[in-house]
Amino acid sequence: MTELWSSPFFGLALSIFAFWTGVVIQRNVRWAVCNPLLIGALLVIGTLLVFQIPYEAYNEGGSLINLMLTPATACLGMSIYEKLPLLRKNWLPILAGCTAGSASSMGSIYLLCRLFGLDREMLVSLLPKSVTTAIATSLSASHGGVVSITMAAMILTGIASSIGAPLLVRVFRVKNPVAAGLAIGACSHAVGTSRALEMGEVQGAMSGLAIGICAVVTILLSLFVF
């Protein structure tokens, strides 16, 4: 068995299989809480614990997935480019909304960390929780944060948003699909965007656009915070 997980392909294969299992479960159950990312993470953790596989052995292959995050971040520019007509038409509310979303997310985390007396390491780990994975992990790691905490906060944020977004849209009577999509994308990155796509084509498109813009805004705001 040791030979099995000593291969770097073990971690890669386990990650892909766990996520695929999550996708299958979500398609059949259709519950928002059955998020493929959450199910995949739990399956990987369970497998490592049950078979007592060292994390270092798994990460030799799992880290290959992380290598794909940086070039994947460049693809965010495609979502902005493809929606240029929509961006030109609504550039002011889009930029204002994304800036307000990023600022409120980072501001609330900053105030709560100060209120509960959390140290700088925890503050840095939590601040970028509402942006896409590659940006959040890079910001956290480069400023002394704990990447695993950042990832956990991102997953919880995305899942909570995907569950609560439709309810909040109804409660606050958000009729404009552009506003709904921007709000979801600004606070819940790709996980929430998948939920926005289910709500409508415009909501999904604007949520995807918000991911790219909020990533840029968060990087700029971090210059004043870190």
Residue 201, pLDDT score: 76
Could you give the residue ranges of the DSSP H alpha helices within the chain?
Answer: 2-6, 8-29, 36-50, 55-67, 69-74, 76-82, 84-89, 91-115, 120-126, 133-142, 147-171, 177-199, 201-225
Q: Which residue has the higher pLDDT, 6 or 113?
A: 113
In the DSSP assignment, the letter for residue 115 is H
Q: Please state, in angstroms and rounded to a whole number, the distance separating the CA atoms of residues 201 and 23.
A: 21
Which amino acid is present at 25? Answer: I
Question: pLDDT digits over 115-153, tens only?
Answer: 999 888 999 999 888 887 778 888 888 888 888 888 888
Residue in the structure block whose two tokens are 């292959």: 61
Residue 1's pLDDT band, with cuts at 50, 70 and 90, is low
* CB distance 153 to 129 below 8 Å: yes
Rounded-to-integer distance, Cα 187 and Cα 128, Å: 10
DSSP output for 30-70: --TTS-HHHHHHHHHHHHHHHTT--HHHHHHHHHHHHHTHH
- pLDDT value for 80: 63
Q: For 128, which DSSP code? A: T
Cβ atoms within 10 Å, residue 208? 24
Token output for 188: 């819940």
Burial of 197 (0-12, 13-18, 19+ CB in 10 A): middle
Give the model's pLDDT for residue 20.
Answer: 92
Tokens of 61: 């292959």
Q: Which residue has the higher pLDDT, 5 or 20?
A: 20
The pLDDT of residue 111 is 93
Cβ–Cβ contacts within 10 Å for residue 48, how many?
17
Q: Tokens at residue 156, please? A: 């919880």
Q: What is the pLDDT of residue 112?
A: 92
pLDDT of residue 32: 67
Per-residue pLDDT tens digits for 173-215: 888 888 888 888 888 877 777 777 778 877 877 887 888 888 8
Q: Tell me if 163 sits within 8 A of 33, measured CB to CB.
A: yes
Q: Render pLDDT for 68-125 as a digit per residue (tens, 0 to 9).
A: 766 666 665 666 677 778 778 878 888 888 899 889 889 999 999 999 998 889 999 9
Query: What confidence score (pLDDT) does residue 198 get?
Result: 77
The per-residue pLDDT for 116 is 92
- pLDDT for 92 equals 86
pLDDT band at 43 (very low <50, low <70, confident <90, very high): very high
